[in-house]
Structure 1
Amino acid sequence: MTALGFLYPGHSAEDDYQRMEHLLGSDIRLDVIHTDIGEDAHRVDALLEMGSPDRLAAGVEELRLCGAEAVVWACTSGSFVYGWEGAHDQVRDLARAAGMPASSTSFAFVHAVRELGVRRVAIGATYPADVAELFAEFLGAAGVEVTGVRGAGIVTAAEVGEWTEEDVRALAQESDAPEAEALLLPDTALHTVSHIEKLESQLEKPVLTANQVTVWEALRLTTRKVNAPSLGTLFTKQPLTQA
């Protein structure tokens, strides 16, 4: 049994992890611990507080008791808002507090893009435009070329959690660009796991979504490779790099 731990802010789309656990097989367990988000706002000051060391450390003991082998901070905006170096510091602090390998959803996107061997990506974010641009800057620091950024202007994770499949597909279609080799949907509050196959068929390219890459990153940290076609190209492609 491989036990994977996730620190998930609040309650929005955590049922995506239940779906993924079912799809991955009986020997992989996904343990989701909810962290206190403070103010639910896609605003820089609120996001910095959401991802603060004290808030993340509060969930670590419960993960250890679950027997988790690795932990991922399952929040994109609450990691990239710290910038490239600051996000590294956040992950190092989390690993030290947890006593196990650690990462975040922001780095999961970087590693997943490298795994697919793509260089140019489009971003379809639920966030306000200024926050979405910070994600583009984070990817740029990793050497990923962003062809375009669309911010939907949604302020709270609670509202994002209510989005329908139609909403998700519309965001994907509006955000894609012909020159992009993959589309990224970076909000862990967004339900996407049930839609990835349809999105990839619709756009005819890989689609990386926040909860999808978060689980893939935890598997990467434990050196597990799982073939799960319903979770998209990322879960079926043979590895190209060791990120």
Structure 2
Amino acid sequence: MHLTRFRLNTARREGRELLGSPHRMHAAVAMSFPQLPARDGSGPRVLWRIDRNSTAEVVLFIVSPSRPDLTHLVEQAGWPAASDTPGWQTYDYGSFLDRLSAGSTWTFRLTANPVHSIRRTDDEPRKRTAHLTARYQTAWLLDRQESSGFAVAEKPPAARMLEHGDELQLVVRDKRDLRFAKAAERRTVSLTSITYDGRLTVTDPVALRRTLTQGLGKAKAYGCGLMTLAPVG
């Protein structure tokens, strides 16, 4: 497994166009591999996420079974003449995953598409709908933590605010309502993405490795589902 980091040049029109369309970004990521892995859910897949750290620092992260070649992205949306380096960094992710152990604590970031299925009447087909409030977006993540191999850490009592719902080391932020065209299918896709920042404890290393390499939730092709870990502190 590999983890790749690529900073986008937001001053370039091509970079802004990629950021404005998850469909185009998905295609650009797919072009980084001669052959994509199967998407039948049986193994690791290509996952990607955009981190908007500031207006000038927008980073694409990719987790993939094989090493990508992002030459086309550097030429379209990077700094192709800036240095002799390839313009992206790829790291050995497999050795990191192998070292995950039960009880270890990490900070995490996840961009996801928290949805549920609803229907207004008994005879109406169910419709997939996004959770719109932080309360239900948090509940969506907590409902999946046990099967995904982690537990969101709680704050020490002295660090909690008085209101209910402040017990967790978790921030829900950067809600984005995305709407973009899929020209080949002549339809418009709408989805909501949410970014979670927090701290977790590993409860099941095997399940967490699966989460980190297969993604969490829906809309994985459009930049959702990728969770990454970093050392605490």
TM-score (norm 2): 0.24
Flag the structure with higher strand content: 2
Point out the structure with max Rg over C-alpha: 2
TM-score (norm 1): 0.23
RCO comparison, higher one (Cα < 8 Å, 6+): 2
